[in-house]
Amino acid sequence: MLELLAPGALRFFVTTMGSTSISSLHEASATTVISMSTNHAPGQAVASTSAQPSATSPPVTQDLPEDLLAAGWCKCWSRREKRPYYFNRFTNQSLWEVPTTVQHDSISDPLGLNAAPVGSPRTTDDSAPRKRSSTEEPTAGLKRGRSEDVTPITPVTPAPRICKVTTEAPFASPTSKHKAPLVAFPVFWNLEVPSNVVAREMPPYLLFPPHPEAELCRAQLTARLRQHYQELCQQREGIDAPRESFNRWMLERKVRDRGTDPMLPSDCEPAVSPSMFREILNDIPIRLSRIKHREDAKRQLFKYAEAAKRMIESRNATPDSRKIVKWNVEDTFNWLRKELSATKEDYLERLDHLRQQCGPHLADVAKESVEGICAKLYHLACEYAQRVRSRHLEILRECNLPPDEVDSVTTSCMEERAVPCHPARLRLPEAPLPRVDLHVESEQACLRHRGEVVRVNQNYLAKLEQLYRLNCTDDSRFEKFLPRVWCMLRRYQTMFGLGAHEGLGLHGALPVSVFEALHRHFDVTFECFASPLNCYFAQYCSAFPDTDGYFGSRGTVLDLFPASGSFEVNPPFGEELMNSMVDHFENLLAASTEPLSFVVFVPEWRDPATPALLRMEESCFKRRQLLVLPFEHEYRHGAQHVCRSEELHIRALHGTAILFLQNDAAYARWGPTPERIRALLEAYRPQGRAPQPAGPADGTAGGDEAGGEESTAPSSAGGTTGSIETGGKLSERKESSDDEWV
């Protein structure tokens, strides 16, 4: 270990293994030392009294057997109790007693998933291995976890439907001086479900820990990027930037990106994004809006013909293209003049014909300029990502931390051993975090940093507090909690946009009852696509390991390599992301002989069909496929953490396909039997709520302009608004080969 002595009498450690980083210590005196454990949660140091004993701590010798060390155990020293204890860096479990290796029945439970983790103590009255929930009362010999240091503000019983929350937070906040009365809030999660996922050990991410100043810089530059995009589309193509295409562009870019920023793309190929290119072309020469009446259809046909003519005349088209487009446009005008009694269907048919005839020629003339928009945006994003990085380095410098260290930190190789999955960790140094103030306004928690306010409903702040307590290992006093929540909320705001209803379709969630059924009947304990705000389980993958790891994120789904476990999968609907997801799952399923199961929920788009859906339908791992009909099921609002409770459930306008991808071992254990399927579909039935009024959510539903491109403009698995109440019959489609409906 290389020891650095920073000005201000704070001491830091950097491991020479390259597996950890520098971190700051807020709490300690000048002589307090923090040891850097590579496996503690997100890139953080764990204030430890062990590896580097303080003046009062005797040295602790690491005399644990090899198998315990491999299982993540290390010996530490408790200053408070003045005796050694044992800490597991994978599970965050702490014990007073020497952990013991538990034997388990390798036939009925080959991975030992139902056994206590290696090293769990046997209780005196029950020698059989058993799981230990994080909320169990500590029994004799068990050291209390971090919850001892903070006042829990949420109850920790399984599947709570209501939690009692005080506005007094356990973390330092200006409002915490006054103890508010207990308030009951509904909860939409169950953070008590233990994970059954065993995955390849994940190296720490080479990302900076979040900092409000850097986050603000990223937010401002991203807003500028959105603005540039709108201007480029207007100036070059005379159209508005396609709805949500910027958000989908970021999702698509991050599938390929190897750059330094967790959000802004800065190192991916090709520079021209296929998804953005497709979406812009789709709106050329005009964006078609939802057609409700005959007059709408007539007007749109006319507008399309006019715009096509204008475009082909003003651009550099081949004589042939020009001739074909002009001829078709003239033909349409003549038809419009003649057919005065045409119906809506006639107009739609004609519009379709015109698009087919002119589309390829218009795409040819627009191609170069649309590619120019995509490339320009990507290069701006690279420049902005660099600026955010510079801001991070500047912050380190301002705090007298050595920014040069950052360049010498490199990624470590992927570890080959399998471990219980653990929260994402970070590698780069963290600067001290500035103050963030908390106050409550209209039942929402408002977090303010330098006049910039982010909001979250109080029950969700309590959820974040609980996730933080379960996952964050470097901040037992919650001193960094508010700045970290601020950064995470700001990140999602920046990612999904600030417009009314913007981005909602990209992170709608399944109903709680469906999660309950998935857990009860398929032993699902993990969400592949989530955020700290919309997760149901405490273990999940998310888009941003840097902001979300403190709240339990296991990193992005494409970085997770599970060998076993049962997963729920509700991806944001971006073609590239979903395609990469299918590749990833197929590789994982082929590689593992342990039970590995993915229950996937995607919209049933058929016109044209989503490639990822088609591929899953043809997969040799597909065990069963169901269809839940449009209007007969719901999603939870994409902004569930800030919306009003009456807005929470949204009727789906599209059907949802449910696919079970399982290897043989998972099929034997969690196969989709008729009883399980029945229970799952029953859970999908809307729970007697009044339907929500329609309103635009993304490019496929809602307002007048939204629906025309339903078949081509991607939407999300996360649902859109809908308002039609129907009988609530749920349908199931069997294996696609027989295409049978029951």
Q: Can you tell me which of 421, 524, 541, 657 binds ligand SAH, judged by CB under 6 A? A: 541
Write down the least CB distance from residue 523 to ligand SAH, Å. Answer: 16
Facing residues of 598 across strands?
567, 661
Write down the least CB distance from residue 519 to ligand SAH, Å. Answer: 13
- The full length of the chain comes to 742
| Residue with Cβ nearer ligand SAH (207 or 308) | 207
Residue 719 corresponds to which amino acid? G
Counting residues that bind ligand SAH (by CB under 6 A) gives 20
The reply to whether 535 sits near ligand SAH by the rule CB under 6 A is yes
Q: Can you tell me which of 237, 261, 568, 732 binds ligand SAH, judged by CB under 6 A? A: 568
| 14 in Cβ contact with 22 (< 8 Å) | yes
Q: Can you tell me which of 205, 347, 481, 529 binds ligand SAH, judged by CB under 6 A? A: 529
Least Cα distance to 68 among 117, 105, 4, 136 occurs for: 117
| Residue with Cβ nearer ligand SAH (213 or 576) | 576
Write down the least CB distance from residue 555 to ligand SAH, Å. Answer: 8
In the range 468-527, which residues lie near ligand SAH by CB under 6 A? 507, 509-510, 527
| 573 in Cβ contact with 581 (< 8 Å) | no
Q: Can you tell me which of 530, 600, 629, 658 binds ligand SAH, judged by CB under 6 A? A: 530
**Extended beta strands in 450-595, E state:** 452-457, 526-530, 540-542, 562-569
Write down the least CB distance from residue 544 to ligand SAH, Å. Answer: 8
| 44 in Cβ contact with 475 (< 8 Å) | yes
| 290 in Cβ contact with 708 (< 8 Å) | yes
Residue 182 corresponds to which amino acid? L
Q: Can you tell me which of 543, 563, 596, 658 binds ligand SAH, judged by CB under 6 A? A: 543
Q: Can you tell me which of 32, 466, 531, 564 binds ligand SAH, judged by CB under 6 A? A: 531
| 507 in Cβ contact with 497 (< 8 Å) | no
Q: Show the tokens assigned to 277.
A: 């290119």
For ligand SAH, which stretch binds (CB under 6 A), given 22-30, 553-561, 607-615, 663-671? 553-561
| Residue with Cβ nearer ligand SAH (542 or 663) | 542
Write down the least CB distance from residue 96 to ligand SAH, Å. Answer: 37
Write down the least CB distance from residue 71 to ligand SAH, Å. Answer: 27
- Sorted by sequence, the CB contacts under 8 Å of residue 409 that are 6+ apart come out as 18, 21, 206, 427, 428
CB count within 10 Å of CB 706 equals: 25
CB count within 10 Å of CB 640 equals: 21
Site string for ligand SAH, 223-262 (x = CB under 6 A): ----------------------------x-----------
3-state secondary structure of 537: coil
Q: Show the tokens assigned to 661.
A: 């991808």
Least Cα distance to 494 among 440, 556, 452 occurs for: 452
For ligand SAH, which stretch binds (CB under 6 A), given 79-87, 463-471, 528-536, 608-616? 528-536
Write down the least CB distance from residue 251 to ligand SAH, Å. Answer: 6
Write down the least CB distance from residue 486 to ligand SAH, Å. Answer: 18
DSSP string computed for 480-516: SHHHHHHHHHHHHHHHH-SSTTTTGGGS-B--HHHHH
Interatomic CA distance for residues 630 and 651, integer angstroms: 8
| Residue with Cβ nearer ligand SAH (296 or 546) | 546
* Mode of pairing for the β-strands spanning 634-636 and 649-651: antiparallel
Q: Can you tell me which of 44, 91, 542, 597 binds ligand SAH, judged by CB under 6 A? A: 542
The reply to whether 275 sits near ligand SAH by the rule CB under 6 A is no
Q: Can you tell me which of 552, 565, 572, 696 binds ligand SAH, judged by CB under 6 A? A: 572
Q: Show the tokens assigned to 651.
A: 């009727």
Cis-peptide, bond into residue 285, ω within 30° of zero: yes
Q: Can you tell me which of 20, 92, 154, 570 binds ligand SAH, judged by CB under 6 A? A: 570
| Residue with Cβ nearer ligand SAH (216 or 524) | 524
Write down the least CB distance from residue 709 to ligand SAH, Å. Answer: 22
Binding site residues, ligand SAH, CB under 6 A: 251, 507, 509-510, 527, 529-531, 534-535, 541-543, 556-558, 568, 570, 572, 718
